[in-house]
Each structure stands twice: as C-alpha cells, then as structure tokens.
Structure 1
Amino acid sequence: MASPAPPRIFSRRRRIAGLRRASVRQAQRDAARYLMDDMVEDILDRLEFIRMSPARVLVIGDWTGTLALSLRGAGSDVTELDMATLDEEQPIDAAPYDLVVSLSSVDRVNDLPGALLHMRNALAEDGMMIASFLGAGSLPNLRRAMLAAEPDRPAARMHPLVDNQAASALLQRALFKRQVVDGRSLNVSFASLDRLVSDLRDQGLGSALANAPAPLGKAAKKRADAAFLAGANDKGRVLENFEILTLTGWKD
C-alpha cells in the first residue's frame, strides 16, 4: 500500500523566486548574509574538529559559495546545488558522496523525512550528512508582531519550525546512525520590523508557504510595527533570536 502524500505546506515555486530575489539583493553593499556565514563557519569548524577530509562533497543551499571554496582549497571535489537545480524531495544524482551538507534548505520542503533519506542514500559507506537551518525558538519578536497585527483572525504568515526532539526522530526515521542534533543561538539587533524583514529577504528566508495570505493592510502593519518595537531596549533596538539547528548523521 502506497504511503499517503505529505501535506503541501511549502511552495517550491515561491522558494525559488525568493532565492532569485536574494541573489539580486546580495549585489547591494549592505545586504545581510550573517546567517549563512555563521552556518558555513560552523561546518568548517566541525570538519576540522573531527579531522574529516572528504574526497567527494555535495553542498546544497550555500548561495555564498564560501563553503565549496574552502573545501576545494583543502582538496575536496565539490558539487554545488541549490533548490532551483535540486528538488530535495527526489533522489540525488551522481552519488555517492563522502559528505553531504545542506544549509538553510531542507526545513522548507513538504517531505522532510524523504529529503533526509535521499541525502542518506547519496552517501558512500560511512559517509556523513550535516544539515543546518533555523529551528524552533527563532524569531520570537517577529511572531509576536504578526499575531498583534491581526488579533482577531491571525493568518499563517510564518513557517512551522523543527525542534530538537523532532529532528532526532527525523534522523532515526531516515535510518542515519550516530545521530547528533544540537542548536545554538545567534542574536541580532534591529531598529525596526522593516529592517528585520529586509534581512530575511536578503538571505532568501522570506515566506514560501503554499497558501500565502494577502499582504498586511496599513492598520495591521502599524500594529505589527508597534508590537515589534514594544520589545526594544533603552537604545531603541529589538534583540531578535535566530536558533540554528544542526543535524548530523552517518550512513553506517
């Protein structure tokens, strides 16, 4: 009996459009890229700590190109793919790889267990997968602002996020061995809600929900701005939290 299709929460078309918009925005001098920079630095630190020098690597989602550049400098043969050229819910070609890295990508697929399983199947024996993305606990001030904008009937405007417990279960379901799930916080201050939204768009993290609600009206936007700034410190800035979740698993 065939398994039921996963619910359609995300739109692949909207994800690709957001990535292309981010690529254009990155040409601006002040474009934000701190989340991807943090993830890349963390991956390189992990590989150095375990003294792993993979021969063949697949990097998914790093639109900065920094991770691939560093790995090639260390002698790895690296293939780079993004969500426009790789459907994470389909088998991965040109396997096997000694290392598969996914950055800010698989958290916005409809079939996350399937995407993790495809990455596992793309690994060579004893190969390793690392996936980093924004996890539960991220953007509490933005969530509060969105709820305040439409107090009577708030629309679904933000993505559901994965927590540590769910991530561990997902790795087990995808048949990974020696699973490790850990999280870390990255705090960034903002003077306005508009700047936070701009930073998210710079980094390809705008909404990719399949059923996108209409934009906020003027009154709702005013309520959102006020709710966001209600959490400001004495310098008029709001400290927003990004919780970065990292999943690590080995094939055997």
Structure 2
Amino acid sequence: MSQTLFDPAALAAHRARTERAGTVATFLHEIAADEVSERLVEVNRRFTDAVVIGPQAALWADAVAPGARQVAAAEVLDLAEGSADLIVHGLALHWAEDPVGQLVQMRRALRPDGLMIAAMFGGQTLAELRTAFAEAETRVEGGLSPRVAPMGEIRDLGGLLQRAGFALPVADSLPLKVDYADPLALMRDLRAMGETNAMAARRRGGLRRETLGAVVETYFDQYARDDGRVLATFEIVFLTGWAPAENQQQPLRPGSAKARLADALKVPERPLDD
C-alpha cells in the first residue's frame, strides 16, 4: 500500500506537459493573484525581500511583488532562515504531502513580523465532478477509485496556521462558479491547469469509455443550467499569518474587557437560561 497521498513525479509530468503544449490555463491563478495583490495594498507596508512560491511563480510575482524571488513548489522549499519579509504561496499548497511542514518552513524563512499569504484550493472545489465520478463509477464499475485530490475544509486549514506557529492567523475563502459547455470542457481545462489526478493510489490504465460517458451523463443530469451549460465550483482558500514579533498586537485575555457589551449596545443584560 502506498505510504504517500500524492505522486510528485506524476504532478511534475502533468505540469510539464501543459508547458510543452503551450496550453496552460492560468485564469484561476490570475484571479487569486489579483486578490492577494489587493490585500497587500490594504496592509500598507513596503516589503523589500519578497518570495513567491508555485508552478506559476512568474505570473504571481508580476501581480503581487515585481522582482520577487521565485521558488519552486516542493516538499523542501528553497528558503533560507530569516531571508524574507513577505512570502506568497501561489495556488499549490493543496498538493503538499505535509502542508504544516510547508507552513513551518515559510515561517522560519520570515523575519519577525514578516507576512505569509498562501492561496490553495479548498474542500468545495470540484464538488460536482467528485459526485459525478462517484455515482458513475459505482454504477458502471461497482466501486470507486481516487479521482479528485482531497482538499481541506477552511476550518481545518485555518488550524494549520496555528500549528505552524504563525501569529494573527486568518483563513477565508473565495468561492467561484465557472460555467462550461460540457463536463469534457472542464476536464480539458483541468488538464491545461496541470491539476489532473496525481494521487499515489490512483487507478492506472486510464478511464474506461463507458465510465466517462456515465460521468458526463450524471454531470448533465445534476448540474446543467437551463441553457445547457454546466457549472463547476472552485473554492480558493487564503491563509494569512505573520511571523511572531514582540511589537505585534496581541489578543486580549478572556475577561479583561473594561466595558460591557450590553452597555455599548444600550440593552439590558440578562442571564443565560440554564
């Protein structure tokens, strides 16, 4: 039995294939990078040593930090301790075998009060395709095989920031609905993104024609719009954390408030029912 979740060789081959073919689909990277760029404007701080990580690092660097050092997404990141004041992980952390380990590496690479923002696909991503594959394979082949990589729910992903030692951790998501002419167009887009199946336990030998037909039929039956097109969900989760520093704002201790909420709202305070 495989001891790992992902097959890094397969993932690298998928990404290389799209680069060779010149068919890389980057629209989700562009959306996520623009979102991070807007957030950095709101931070209102000048970063001098930025690092961008991911398969589309050049695109991300242009959007969020021109001139940033570009680092490949790998289990061991090419980061020196205390070398950066900003690290952006661009839509690749969902492929990490050890995401907490990746976050720890980034925290150590940050100087005190340095900022890390990671964008990754969340648990609602491709929910429709997962369902269509599950129903089609069960009906045609009598069982399931891993087809879409598992992706974390936002509550669990936010907890990773605390485990990695980040201060002021925040996790939020951007849900997107993308429409396609048919499920096959969605699959072609996933291939062009380099986001096709790279799970270690995936079934080898390709997808049976009968199963593919059942996937398309199920997808249309459940997710077609009135105009005949189908929808696909992509959830981009943003993880934001700061390297701890003595001068950072700290949360108040429980019970240390100097004013009552009831007084601020000008309403009577009532005891909770037992």
TM-score normalised according to structure 1 size: 0.88
Q: Report the equivalent of 2:4.
A: 8
Q: Report the equivalent of 1:4.
A: none
Matches of 2:231 and 2:91 in 1, distance apart?
21
Match of 1:226 among 212, 217, 225: 217
Give the Å deviation of 1:182: 0.2
Q: Deviations over 1:148-172 (max 9, x none)?
A: 2211211111111011111121111
Q: Which structure has the greater CA radius of gyration? A: 2
Given that 1:142 and 1:228 are in contact with CA atoms closer than 8 Å, whether structure 2 keeps it comes out as yes
Does the alignment pair 1:103 with 2:95? no
Match of 2:25 among 29, 32, 39: 32
Matches of 2:56 and 2:144 in 1, distance apart?
33
Q: Compute the RMSD of aligned alpha carbons.
A: 1.9
Structure 1 residues 190 and 70: alpha-carbon distance in aligned structure 2, compared to 1, 3 A threshold? closer
Structure 1 residues 72 and 36: alpha-carbon distance in aligned structure 2, compared to 1, 3 A threshold? closer
Matches of 2:199 and 2:82 in 1, distance apart?
30
Give the Å deviation of 1:68: 1.5
Greater relative CO, 1 or 2 (CA 8 Å, sep 6+)? 1
Q: Report the equivalent of 2:238.
A: 246
Matches of 1:12 and 1:53 in 2, distance apart?
35
Residue segments in structure 2 that go unaligned for 5+ positions in a row: 245-274
Given that 1:95 and 1:124 are in contact with CA atoms closer than 8 Å, whether structure 2 keeps it comes out as yes
Give the Å deviation of 1:43: 0.9
Give the Å deviation of 1:15: 1.7
State the one-letter code of the partner of 2:9. R
Q: Report the equivalent of 1:148.
A: 135
Give the Å deviation of 1:52: 2.5
Structure 1 residues 173 and 189: alpha-carbon distance in aligned structure 2, compared to 1, 3 A threshold? same
Q: Deviations over 1:178-227 (max 9, x none)?
A: 00000011111011121111111211211221122132211111101101
Given that 2:71 and 2:78 are in contact with CA atoms closer than 8 Å, whether structure 1 keeps it comes out as no
Does the alignment pair 1:67 with 2:65? no
Q: Report the equivalent of 2:191.
A: 201
State the one-letter code of the partner of 1:81. V
Matches of 2:82 and 2:214 in 1, distance apart?
50
TM-score normalised according to structure 2 size: 0.81
Matches of 2:82 and 2:185 in 1, distance apart?
41
Matches of 1:38 and 1:209 in 2, distance apart?
26
Structure 1 residues 71 and 225: alpha-carbon distance in aligned structure 2, compared to 1, 3 A threshold? closer
Q: How many residues align?
A: 238
Matches of 1:11 and 1:36 in 2, distance apart?
22
Given that 2:34 and 2:63 are in contact with CA atoms closer than 8 Å, whether structure 1 keeps it comes out as no
